[in-house]
Structure 1
Amino acid sequence: MASMNSIRDTFFEECEELLEALAEGLQLMEAGEHDGETVNAVFRAVHSIKGGAGAFALNALVAFAHRFETVLDALRSDKIALTPEVMHVLLRSADHLADQVESAREEREVDAEATAGFLTNLDACLGEIEAPPAPGSAEDEDPCFGFAAVSLDFGPIEVEPAPVAEAPPDPAAPPGYQIRFTPQPALYANGHDPALIFASLADLGALQVTLDASALPDWDGFDPAGSYLSWTLRLATAEPETVLHEIFEFVEGLCTLEIGPAPAETPMDSAPPEAPPADSAAASEHANDHTGDPQAYSMVSPGAEPPPALPDPAEAQALPAGAKPRRDARPAEDDGASGGPKPTLRVDLERVDRLINAVGELIINQAMIEQSILDLSLPTDAEVITHVEDYRLLARDIQEAVMAIRAQPVKPLFQRMSRIVREAAEATGKSARLVTVGEATEVDKTVIERLADPLTHMIRNAVDHGLESREARLAAGKDPEGTIRLQAAHRSGSVFITVRDDGAGLNRARIRDKAVSKGLIPAEAELTDAEIDNLLFMPGFSTAERISNLSGRGVGLDVVKNAVTALGGRVAITSQPGEGTEFIISLPLTLAVMDGMVISVAGQTMVIPIASVIETIRPGPGDLHDMGTSEKLLSIRGRFLPMIDVAQCLGFPLRDSDEAPLLLLVETESQTQCALIVDAVHDQRQVVIKGLESNYGSIPGVSAATVLGDGQIALILDSEALTSNRSFTGHMQGRSFPSSAGVAHV
């Protein structure tokens, strides 16, 4: 049972990759950038999901995927045209297929009414084309359903063995395997197709397939549900035998399988077998056509000369149902001596997390050893100091390698947002499309998982509130179809996720009036455009006139703010009337380790992320200027920048020294640049981030903590929060509403 559960989990992991490939192919088709192979790839993704689902008796999933692939098959055979209406049905059917996979994984029922609606839409795409019966239907179970049986006598079937051309052995040829493969009837009943398995084997090297039809009965004894064919396969590959077993993994128990070394007397580089007589090929085709797609019984690997009677191998390039996709395959010349696809390894995420924690402790241990060496005051050329420096560099290399294991591209997350745009557009009656940029940007897996919900809120908000109706856009001279642009990029040690719409922009007067009517701000408050924009992040705030499925209940952007803040990130808004609104989320690349600057503030040792620090400054008397009774400005290179006392922001006593302060010039999203007042700068080092949320909750101005080399615990400062909160309290000093109102830059 444990083994079956493991195989089931692997199947659903494969489904995630297949759904990703499906979404990618449909996006290309929607953009008009596809070719015949793109449609084939989309078909194969649905077909593989169907085949794997059949192995676990997921009948509802099999039935829907069967109808879905019928439409795709009609599309790739030019029986129907790819109209906008058909494209819309395909996109929404892919969404429902993903829902069915998720429901099957969680062992819950899918809404039968919704499924029926999608099936009706798929049937409408077929028009007058009659779809084959779904697996398990009455027509499938009774070959004579609705018709009278007619007995035909075609005489005995004779199959001649396929001759194999002899060729001299090549001593440089890779090791080979001989595979004896005999399917059982259950293999076909579950939707598997031997031709697809052979296609995956052909990706590993030169493949020769020989059909054994000796068990095929005459017509009187032929059972359509039976299995009479077997194959002998000879494969020349450098891959280990375990890779072959992976390809047959999802047909285990449904066939008789023998894998062994190829006989020494049979050269693996000999010419492929010729095609059998036409009647044998027809019998093979008839016996294998369990999925509605006739497949040839024999093939050779890409690059080899195919026999004359073989069909185009491109028709059978799909993975076998449930087999592991090999997306990282490269041409042979790129793979060095191996000449085969780059191997991959699935690892439990919990093991990776344990490894990351161990690397974090390793870095702390290195810092402690380094501190102990420094305390000994050894000569700078001491050998032990060199070893400690090597230790530090090695620990950093290990840390970067481990972080790369957890790093994943944001592409799957962005693909999920395409569905959100479609659903929101349907719910609001608007036309919208999603444009994605930077899908290959890599982010820590935890960040991606926890970013899904806030990004969903922002996309829905952009469609519901950002985009105008078709009529309003036409009146404004815009394209009636609105555009949501989703972009990811690395910058300054952080990842920036941008959501931009080309709508009407924020109605700041309406936002301010709503805030006043809800009692969130006093009527006499004077707010800048940025402060009005940030009212959207206040709990309970909504500008919707009526409650709908998407908006109106005051739950949305405040959830975004809380989720992003919990990730150690920030979110900012920019908007231009008539041009649209842009939300910018900045997040750390990883939640485990960072480079920081060790400083002192009010006698306390703290750390500030070095990515935000531009330079350190010891200003002269002429560089400091008073503004009001308590504020100061720094004059630097012809500009005036605000000065913020970190100690004061954190609640420490005010400075009473007349000595010129030490300043850190930092760059933030809200203030662009400002100067933080600190007592001293000690060192720059890599620190391990330890969260405070679970034990101490949220601390304004502090993002996390770390353990230094001497064992001391130091707080990690959030420069963005320090500058935002300080600028807000200073700007609003003396006003009647509290600074915790949340209208400052988030």
Structure 2
Amino acid sequence: MSGAPDIRTTFFQECDELLEALNDGLASVQEQVAGGPSDPEALHAIFRAVHSIKGGAGAFGLNALVRFAHAFETVLDLLRSGKIPATEDLVALLFRAGDMLTDHVTAAREGRENAGDPAVAALMAELAAVSGAPEAPAAAEDEGGEEDFGFVPMTLPFELEGPGAQRFHIAFAASRRLYANGHDPLILFEALSAIGTLEVAVSAARLPDLTTLDPEEGYLDWALTLETEQDRGAIEEVFEFVEGLAEIEIRCEDEDPPAGAEGIDAGPQIAPAPRDPATVAEGSADATPPPPAPARVAPDAPPVAPTAASAAPPASQSAPGAAQGASSAPPASATIRVDLERVDGLINAVGELVIHQAMIAQKLAEAGVAWNSDIGAGFDAFRNLTSEIQERVMAIRAQPIKPLFQRMARIVREAAAVSGKTAQLRTEGEATEVDKTVIERLAEPLTHILRNAVDHGLETSEKRVAAGKPASGVISLSATYRSGRVVIEVADDGAGINREKVRAIAIEKGLIDPAAELSEAEVDRLLFMPGFSTATEVSDLSGRGVGMDVVKRTIQAIGGRISINSTPGRGTVISISLPLTLAVLDGILIEVCGETMVVPITAVVETLRPGPKDIHAIGPDQRVVTVRDTVVPVVDLGQVFGLPGTCSQDILLLVETESRNRYALAVDAIKDQSQVVIKGLEGNYRHVAGISAATILGDGRIALIIDPEEAVAQAAPVSPVAAAVAASAPPSSQPAALTPAR
């Protein structure tokens, strides 16, 4: 079947959604065990997620994944039925099983299996010990030794001889949605034949003539008779993945037949009302005329060879209401999956649209077109429409940070196990949306930060108890919007940074002069220097001297900033500030020594026009400006970038860095405020200190986008003593503010 690869891809995409639901449910169960509010649906959601993954994996012959999921869901079934209690140790085991299930899905997606992994066998042994079930073999020694999970090889015939303790009559009528989701009734019938002797009768009474036939509609009805030793539950499990996609009626022969079915030998018939033509066009399976007595399928009819892809579970199976019965059809999906390359192409096209809009505005201004004219009004509407399109397109790439946070929960669990510590991760702001590219490139540095928080930040349980803290350490991971950026914070409640030790190691490694006087913040920043490590020995988590400097470079490469703040005895907070998107930003166009540059508007607090008495000279090259009750260092951008020419520097841009320090950027003029399309420099040139990217202006010229944080770092710093001296100078008239402070 040509669509099999697409359906397989869809299955793994649905696995990602199911694994996310699994982690949500496990987190809810963990809260309940810790004394939180009860949520009975959480266990059912976890079970459905694992069972759905197992069902789809069986259709594709992913035996190792099926085997592990079966052991996992056995424990979950006992837990949700109240046969085993929920304890902290059991929840920890379920989390490890969820992590292993994720590994199995990843391996299956990459075309390999974890069947021979000793860790898998050990974990399955733990699950079997909890459930009391015999441990499943890691792999079948021969075909006859394979464990039966209810999935049937696709070559089985319809009729398998076997003793039948009960006789069931099954009426089955498929809707068009069953076929649209890739299901095949023949596979369902084969699964039934595996648990007993099956007879199949089909009716084509609803099949119209060719002039009115809809090729996507389901016109066939089946009446099945099954003799089996299994109970009704085994039959219902076969149809579990098509609930809501077909009309199904199961009746044991010992039960009283439904009204109107007395004259039927092959089992109950489906006898709904006649179909309306409009209903047929919509694909409804609710109204069909009663078929005549169905014709028997010949016992020696050759079996049809269906494809495994047709048994992939639909996405709706992960919904909580998917198992409420066939009579309540799930709503149509409100989402579509689009290839990422198409989204990137659309974003690039919108970027070019923004550039050309700026060019048109430039040409209209040069032509002297009045903005209150018809042309001006039309362009204004075009500009507003462009802005709306740009915002909506950028929102397509924006994704909740929740999946990344869920992956980090596993990192914390594994790091705690390796270090022999007890830790739990608390998350906040999981719904915060960030550009997909930012999320992808954030995973590695965030992993390293969390491992450091467990290995270096948290104390052992004994030390924590001795210090009056809970035995289990807490690491908080949060995301929030702040000043047009996304701020992610990793906080631990450990011992904090031992600054004396950090300073001693920095002196030993020759990173700083022994006579240097450093503030607490400057000592903390030593952790980001290349080759720095406080670990005394190499372990699986740390000690190799490659770490926080790489984290810093990775964060800076995506336009982010990282800072650290620690309180002895109370813990450490690492803050990461990231742009919402890597495509477009709002900026202020400035002129410096005849060059047009862009400053991100999110970094600007206010603009100032200082008077001569507001500027204080400190040494030959350093100046400060008095702003209300504070003194702010002045940074000469022309000097920072080595620009030739004369700079008047009549205007100051007051900017704030991630460390909450303020600086005044001296510029010659403010030209405009505009949206600019970000064009990276590193891919085509190299990194330039103080410059984050470039853009194309409306007149076609290229303008550099300033990185305020890095630009002020390039300037000669003003010492705290000099700033204090300047602050003690007699007060003067305050500079005129062009824009109010935020």
TM-score normalised according to structure 2 size: 0.77
Give per-residue Cα distances to partners, 1:158-199, cap 9 Å, x unaligned: 75989xxxxxxxxxxxx9989994544655699998747967
Going from structure 1 to structure 2, the CA distance change for 1:38 and 1:132 (only over 3 Å counts) comes to farther
Counting only pairs closer than 5 Å after superposition, residues 274-673 of structure 1 correspond to structure 2 as 322-325=313-316, 340=331, 343-653=334-644, 657=648, 661-673=650-662
Give per-residue Cα distances to partners, 1:447-488, cap 9 Å, x unaligned: 111100010000001000000111111111001100000000
Give the Å deviation of 1:325.
3.5
Going from structure 1 to structure 2, the CA distance change for 1:65 and 1:727 (only over 3 Å counts) comes to farther
Show the counterpart of 1:84: 88
Counting only pairs closer than 5 Å after superposition, residues 22-37 of structure 1 correspond to structure 2 as 22-32=22-32, 33-37=37-41
Whether 1:114 and 2:119 are equivalent positions in the alignment is yes
* Alignment check: 8 A CA contact 2:168 2:250 kept: no
* Alignment check: 8 A CA contact 2:136 2:147 kept: no
Q: Aligned partners of 2:64 and 2:127: how far apart in 1? A: 15
Whether 1:706 and 2:713 are equivalent positions in the alignment is no
* Alignment check: 8 A CA contact 1:183 1:229 kept: no
Show the counterpart of 1:299: none
Give per-residue Cα distances to partners, 1:636-655, cap 9 Å, x unaligned: 11211111111111122485
Q: Aligned partners of 2:663 and 2:486: how far apart in 1? A: 22
Show the counterpart of 1:210: 249
Counting only pairs closer than 5 Å after superposition, residues 726-745 of structure 1 correspond to structure 2 as 726=715, 728=717
Amino acid at match of 1:113: P
Amino acid at match of 2:98: A
Q: How many residues align?
A: 624
Q: Aligned partners of 1:540 and 1:584: how far apart in 2? A: 21
Q: Aligned partners of 2:274 and 2:492: how far apart in 1? A: 54
Q: Aligned partners of 2:458 and 2:273: how far apart in 1? A: 57
Residue aligned with 2:57, SS: helix
* Alignment check: 8 A CA contact 1:367 1:709 kept: yes
* Alignment check: 8 A CA contact 1:571 1:585 kept: yes
Q: Aligned partners of 2:124 and 2:385: how far apart in 1? A: 57
Show the counterpart of 1:60: 64
Give per-residue Cα distances to partners, 1:393-451, cap 9 Å, x unaligned: 10110011111111110000000111000000000000000000000000111111110
* Alignment check: 8 A CA contact 1:208 1:235 kept: no
Amino acid at match of 2:499: R
Q: Aligned partners of 2:166 and 2:517: how far apart in 1? A: 95
Give per-residue Cα distances to partners, 1:275-304, cap 9 Å, x unaligned: xxxxxxxxxxxxxxxxxxxxxxxxxxxxxx
Residue aligned with 2:566, SS: strand
Residue aligned with 1:210, SS: strand
Residue aligned with 2:613, SS: helix
Give the Å deviation of 1:626.
1.7
Residue aligned with 1:524, SS: coil
Larger CA deviation: 436-445 vs 668-677: 668-677
Give the Å deviation of 1:627.
2.1
Q: Aligned partners of 1:3 and 1:154: how far apart in 2? A: 38
Give the Å deviation of 1:156.
8.2
Show the counterpart of 2:213: none
Show the counterpart of 2:13: 13
Amino acid at match of 2:624: L
Give the Å deviation of 1:628.
2.9
Going from structure 1 to structure 2, the CA distance change for 1:619 and 1:194 (only over 3 Å counts) comes to farther
* Alignment check: 8 A CA contact 2:564 2:574 kept: yes
Give the Å deviation of 1:692.
0.7
Structure 1 gap ranges (5+): 144-150, 163-174, 215-227, 245-258, 267-319, 332-337, 734-746
Show the counterpart of 2:145: 138
Whether 1:96 and 2:100 are equivalent positions in the alignment is yes
Structure 2 gap ranges (5+): 151-160, 196-232, 254-265, 291-310, 323-328, 723-742
1:48 to 36, 47, 52: 52
Q: Aligned partners of 1:161 and 1:588: how far apart in 2? A: 57
Q: Aligned partners of 1:158 and 1:60: how far apart in 2? A: 33
* Alignment check: 8 A CA contact 2:587 2:598 kept: yes
Q: Aligned partners of 2:149 and 2:625: how far apart in 1? A: 87
Give per-residue Cα distances to partners, 1:65-105, cap 9 Å, x unaligned: 11111111111112211111111111111111111111111
Residue aligned with 2:556, SS: helix
Residue aligned with 1:696, SS: coil
Show the counterpart of 2:704: 715
Q: Aligned partners of 2:460 and 2:271: how far apart in 1? A: 60
Amino acid at match of 2:65: L
Give the Å deviation of 1:3.
2.4
Give per-residue Cα distances to partners, 1:596-624, cap 9 Å, x unaligned: 11111121111111111122111011111
Residue aligned with 2:672, SS: strand
Amino acid at match of 1:723: V
Q: Aligned partners of 1:99 and 1:230: how far apart in 2? A: 45
Show the counterpart of 1:270: none
* Alignment check: 8 A CA contact 1:704 1:716 kept: yes
Q: Aligned partners of 1:242 and 1:455: how far apart in 2? A: 53
Q: Aligned partners of 2:103 and 2:284: how far apart in 1? A: 41
Q: Aligned partners of 1:488 and 1:499: how far apart in 2? A: 9
When the two chains are superposed, the root-mean-square deviation of aligned CA atoms in Å is 3.9
1:674 to 663, 671, 685: 663
Q: Aligned partners of 2:274 and 2:101: how far apart in 1? A: 37
* Alignment check: 8 A CA contact 2:169 2:250 kept: no
Q: Aligned partners of 1:622 and 1:494: how far apart in 2? A: 36
Amino acid at match of 1:535: L
TM-score normalised according to structure 1 size: 0.76
* Alignment check: 8 A CA contact 1:176 1:235 kept: no
Give per-residue Cα distances to partners, 1:119-178, cap 9 Å, x unaligned: 11112222x4557889977374699xxxxxxx998888475989xxxxxxxxxxxx9989
Going from structure 1 to structure 2, the CA distance change for 1:34 and 1:44 (only over 3 Å counts) comes to farther
Larger CA deviation: 719-728 vs 361-370: 719-728
Q: Aligned partners of 1:190 and 1:154: how far apart in 2? A: 12
* Alignment check: 8 A CA contact 2:691 2:706 kept: yes
Give the Å deviation of 1:589.
0.3
Larger CA deviation: 349-358 vs 188-197: 188-197
* Alignment check: 8 A CA contact 1:134 1:140 kept: no
Residue aligned with 1:694, SS: coil
Show the counterpart of 1:124: 129
Larger CA deviation: 53-62 vs 32-41: 32-41
Q: Aligned partners of 1:567 and 1:595: how far apart in 2? A: 17
Q: Aligned partners of 1:37 and 1:575: how far apart in 2? A: 40
Larger CA deviation: 105-114 vs 16-25: 105-114
* Alignment check: 8 A CA contact 2:640 2:715 kept: yes
Q: Aligned partners of 1:11 and 1:43: how far apart in 2? A: 18
Going from structure 1 to structure 2, the CA distance change for 1:160 and 1:488 (only over 3 Å counts) comes to closer
* Alignment check: 8 A CA contact 2:64 2:113 kept: no
* Alignment check: 8 A CA contact 2:272 2:287 kept: no
Give per-residue Cα distances to partners, 1:485-544, cap 9 Å, x unaligned: 000001111000000000011111111111111111121222221111111111111000
Identity of aligned residues (%): 48
Give the Å deviation of 1:392.
0.8
* Alignment check: 8 A CA contact 2:171 2:269 kept: no
* Alignment check: 8 A CA contact 1:326 1:341 kept: no
